Structure 1
Amino acid sequence: MIKRLTVLCLCLGLCLGLAGCGEPAYPDPTQAGYVNDFADVMTPEAEKTIYQAGLALEQQTGAQLVLVTVNDTGSQTLEEYALGMARQWELGDEEKDNGLLLLFTVDGPHSRIEVGYGLEGALPDSKAGRILDDYLVPHYDDRAAWAAALTATYDVCVNEVLAEYGLTKSQYADQPLPAQEQEIGLMEVLAVIIALAVMALLRSKGVHVFPGFFIGGGHRGGGFGGGGGGFRGGGGGFGGGGASR
């Protein structure tokens, strides 16, 4: 029995390791979609403002402007991380390629505007850089001002996209932020399957094991692509246009 348990544990480690290697380096979008505050730097009011602005913009133009805050970009450069995330999330319309990612990292801090192919006319690299220089970079040293600065930067980007389509900002409806759904990932599923196999083996040998020993009651935050709906990218393309600071 000990030998079988050892084999099962090795299989569990191998499966979890392979699953971890296959997972993307980027978190999934939150249900709110337009604002993804993974670094916890935004206020509730700022998150709601950005969500309403992003929702109204997509309804008017089909463009998707997304704010993401993270603590760092790991082993990737800021540019690699922003481009990879924008492509994985497929921001913007598939035909119009009108997605935009505003990325902010606490480590540094640093920021980048990643522009989809279809918005490079509205936000060329030079203009994207000026927006960061004028609205975000001056507040790098004041953490308390980050939420307001990011909101202002996002708002300027919204106005630039609207101008590209010859539109003006509509009145935002008072939309609450969507509740975050729970989601079970591949690694959790594999762990449960193998834990159940171990329990079955132990019970076949007369060992009674309480299921809670193997299966915890924790939950994981939900995200993009869940069956319950929420924010979804439209298949837009990115080529690395934008600016970093």
Structure 2
Amino acid sequence: MKNIIRNIKSSVALSIISFSFLLAGISSLQGQDLPDRPTPPRLLVDYTGILNASERTALENKLVSFNDTTSNQILVILTNDLYGHDIETFASGIGDKWGVGQADLDNGIVLVVKPKVGNNPGLAFISVGYGLTGAIPDITAGQIVDYEMIPSFKNNDYYSGIDQATTVLMELAAGEYSSDEYSSSRRNFLWELSPLIFFFTLLFLILWLSRRSSTIGSKPRSPWAAFWLGSAMGSGGRWGGSSSGSFGGFGGGGFGGGGAGGSW
């Protein structure tokens, strides 16, 4: 009887050991090594080539200028390969491996974009270092992805989405406004637009009725032309356009799951 019990215990122990090795093997296959940081180090890494030269220059100058004028760092990565990881693990892993932020402050941000290709959904994630989770909590990171990035990405405009998102991240990290103020402004956005929507709808209706009653054969010029020509918008901000693009390097880390993402 004792021999039977001993054999059962040995079989169970052997099964547990074998299962542990199996799990370790699966884990190693699923989680490949992350890419090494580029040399020289850069704050914008586009492995996809989806950004053109002028877009890359503008974004990198913006990121380097922010790095030079604050103690915070934002790294932007565009990639088609997550090296066997989910995008959250990839983003936080890059932050730790590359050392994004200052070593004593853990004040780095990693923004990862995996563009939509064919039927494969696009993915975006903002990973926030420990030192900035108070300024940029998970819910706010998710709102930035949803409101600033994905609408542009759906139109295949990756530059605008990244530009808008990094502007908000910079302003939050610099304390120009709080995450609550940002969230409130987004919730109130459509409500604040309601009077304008009503006004322009009414004005359009008046102009349409006026045109219908005009003399047959006349071609009245639309007063909208000058308005639309004069309403062109440009992008810019405190951290745009003045940097040479050179970047001193990383030295931090401290990423532990803070952040949020989305898909389209």
1:163 to 151, 171, 175: 175
Task: State the shift of 1:53 in Å.
Answer: 1.9
- Asked whether 1:66 is paired with 2:70, we answer no
- 3-state SS in 1 of match to 2:103: coil
Task: State the shift of 1:149 in Å.
Answer: 1.3
Q: Aligned runs of 1:108-147 on 2, under 5 Å?
A: 108-143=121-156, 145-147=157-159
Q: 1:44 to 1:32 in 2, by over 3 A?
A: farther
Give yes or no for contact 1:30–1:36 (8 Å, CA) kept in 2: no
Greater Rg over alpha carbons, structure: 2
Task: State the shift of 1:171 in Å.
Answer: 5.8
- Asked whether 1:175 is paired with 2:187, we answer no
Question: What's the counterpart of residue 24 of structure 1?
Answer: 33
The answer for unaligned runs of 5 or more in structure 1 is: 1-22, 179-229
- Asked whether 1:148 is paired with 2:165, we answer no
1:101 to 90, 105, 110: 110
Matched residue type, 1:121: G
Offset from partner CA, 1:42-67 (integer Å, 9 cap, x none): 22222222222222222222211010
Matched residue type, 1:236: G
1:234 to 232, 242, 251: 251
Question: What's the counterpart of residue 19 of structure 2?
Answer: none
Offset from partner CA, 1:137-194 (integer Å, 9 cap, x none): 1233322x1122112111211111112699xx6465633445xxxxxxxxxxxxxxxx
- 3-state SS in 1 of match to 2:154: coil
Give yes or no for contact 1:32–1:177 (8 Å, CA) kept in 2: no
Distance 1:30 1:165 in 2: 35
Distance 2:239 2:252 in 1: 27
Distance 1:118 1:111 in 2: 21
**Count of matched residue positions in the alignment of Structure 1 and Structure 2:** 169
Distance 1:155 1:46 in 2: 15
Distance 1:62 1:146 in 2: 26
Distance 2:64 2:159 in 1: 19
Q: 1:29 to 1:240 in 2, by over 3 A?
A: farther
TM-score, normalised with respect to structure 2: 0.58
Offset from partner CA, 1:60-119 (integer Å, 9 cap, x none): 222110100001313211111111111101100111110000000125210000000000
TM-score, normalised with respect to structure 1: 0.62
Percent identity reads 26
Task: State the shift of 1:32 in Å.
Answer: 6.0
Give yes or no for contact 2:97–2:253 (8 Å, CA) kept in 1: no
Matched residue type, 1:102: L
The answer for unaligned runs of 5 or more in structure 2 is: 1-31, 179-236
Give yes or no for contact 2:62–2:239 (8 Å, CA) kept in 1: no
- 3-state SS in 1 of match to 2:135: coil
Task: State the shift of 1:126 in Å.
Answer: 0.3
Question: What's the counterpart of residue 39 of structure 1?
Answer: 48
Distance 1:134 1:237 in 2: 27
- Asked whether 1:243 is paired with 2:243, we answer no
Question: What's the counterpart of residue 18 of structure 1?
Answer: none
RMSD: 2.4
Give yes or no for contact 2:149–2:165 (8 Å, CA) kept in 1: yes
Question: What's the counterpart of residue 186 of structure 1?
Answer: none
Distance 2:253 2:104 in 1: 7
Bigger share in helix: 2
Give yes or no for contact 1:97–1:237 (8 Å, CA) kept in 2: yes
